Amino acid sequence: KRCCVSFLPNTLIIHMKRFEFDLESMRKVKINTRCTFPMELNMKAYTKEQLTASADSFPKVADYYQYQLRGVLIHSGTADSGHYYSIAKAPQHGEDSDASWFCFNDSTVSPFDLSALHEEAFGGFSSQNSLKPYSAYLLIYERQHVAFLERGTELPSSYEYNCVQEPKLFMPKELLDDISRDNSRFLRDQTLFDPAYSTWLLDIANVIETDTLAPLEIVQLVTLHIFENLSHSKDLNSQLESFVTLLCSWYAQSSDACLWLLDFMCKKLRFWIVKILLNCSVAETRSLFARVLMTVIRKMAVGNRAQYGVEDEECAVAGSGSASFVGSDDDWNRRDSDDDILLKVFDWSQTPQQPSCVTRRIGRANFWMSKTVCSRFLGVALLDAMQSCEQHWRRFDQLFQVVDCFASCGFSEAVYLIRC
């Protein structure tokens, strides 16, 4: 019993079968022994017509069986975990074939010296006399010569000839647009995460004097850069505190900037709360984000507290409903008396020795349509994020610090928080 090839494709992929199940240990293992492979491969000896050698076998041209190595997929690791990268030959543009080989390792593309292929892909023992964890996993060969037919010409009825339709000269527009978008995104990210860009932005920010009101555009730019880029970069964390110190001084002076941040987070960047205050594993980053939010809340609470109880459907957060938030009723217009709070109001103006007392019943607050952005932010962003606290109990300290900051601003804020 033997296997043979009845039809050879223009691109031949060979699986090296580096993994197997060990019946002694009863687990999957990786085979790291040395296995060589050629740069040029003649497949004639492994075809059906060669093995049968029948007289009526249709003769094929010699180039039909001849292949050249075009790429190698390498696996580094064990049978349970590892990493894949590839070594491939770029389209030929000159006589020096070695210069056209590249190593593609995630987002890194670098020239590859073909003379080192045996060290990189054959497997076996290293110079330290231990088995290498990396070796070839897939081999990609291409037929040495492929005849192209003019477009519109029908292919032969049988697969006896190594001919294909002539490829298109132009890339489809949809594919070209996708590549262009990917390249633009890559270049943008490369710029935004470059330490030089952050240093440049910090230098510009430092030009603005401490007691001067910073332009809103600069505050917005720095805020987005900190929490969209800088908070996710391991290399730039040293600059984060400098940016936050500047930002807090700006927000402490500008109500317009505070209004923009809270409104923007309620409408578009609500995910920042969970993403940074709960998901982020770096306590310093969470604390710095909380520091900015607490500065903004303290600034806005003084001017907003008179309108905490004023509700307007026109101010409702787009796409939100009461059922979307923690502790809210299923129906906006339904009040549950069990949820009401009793508030005693003392009037000291008439008789200071025996002030009059009036008990008021206050219902729950529809914070999602509060007229003040500070109370909308409290419910829509902070209280709603508490749904995720159970699974992030190791990292929810800063979230409760921000909520506590709102409650500590004054009696009105504490009562409103209870109503929520």
pLDDT of residue 327: 39
SS3 95: coil
Q: Please determine, for residue 296, whether its predicted confidence score (pLDDT) is greater than 90.
A: yes
Q: Please determine, for residue 362, whether its predicted confidence score (pLDDT) is greater than 60.
A: no
Specify whether the CB–CB gap between 246 and 205 falls below 8 A.
yes
Rg (CA), the chain: 34
Burial class (CB in 10 A: 0-12, 13-18, 19+), 296: buried
pLDDT of residue 145: 75
Structure tokens at 50: 């060669």
Specify whether the CB–CB gap between 398 and 289 falls below 8 A.
yes
pLDDT, tens digit (0-9, with 9 covering 90-100), for 206-264: 888 766 788 999 999 999 998 888 887 766 567 888 899 999 999 999 999 999 999 99
The number of angstroms, rounded, from the C-alpha of 384 to the middle of its chain's C-alpha atoms is 23
Q: Distance (Å, rounded) from C-alpha 17 to C-alpha 139?
A: 11
pLDDT, tens digit (0-9, with 9 covering 90-100), for 367-411: 777 778 888 888 888 888 888 888 888 888 999 999 999 999 988
Q: Please determine, for residue 359, whether its predicted confidence score (pLDDT) is greater than 60.
A: no
pLDDT, tens digit (0-9, with 9 covering 90-100), for 159-212: 445 566 556 666 788 988 999 999 999 999 888 888 889 899 989 888 887 667
pLDDT, tens digit (0-9, with 9 covering 90-100), for 311-330: 766 655 554 444 344 434 44
pLDDT, tens digit (0-9, with 9 covering 90-100), for 60-89: 777 788 999 999 999 999 988 899 999 999
Place of tokens 């292929």: 117
Q: Distance (Å, rounded) from C-alpha 84 to C-alpha 80?
A: 13
Specify whether the CB–CB gap between 69 and 39 falls below 8 A.
yes
Place of tokens 């500008």: 254
DSSP per-residue codes, 265-297 = HHHT-THHIIIIIIS---HHHHHHHHHHHHHHH
Q: Please determine, for residue 98, whether its predicted confidence score (pLDDT) is greater than 60.
A: no
pLDDT of residue 282: 86
pLDDT of residue 414: 85
SS3 390: helix
Q: How confident is the model at residue 141 (pLDDT cuts 50, 70, 90)?
A: very high
pLDDT, tens digit (0-9, with 9 covering 90-100), for 106-131: 888 999 999 999 999 999 998 888 88
Q: Give me the phi and psi of 53, to 5 degrees please.
A: 50, 45
Burial class (CB in 10 A: 0-12, 13-18, 19+), 380: buried
Is the pTM here over 0.85, yes or no? Answer: no
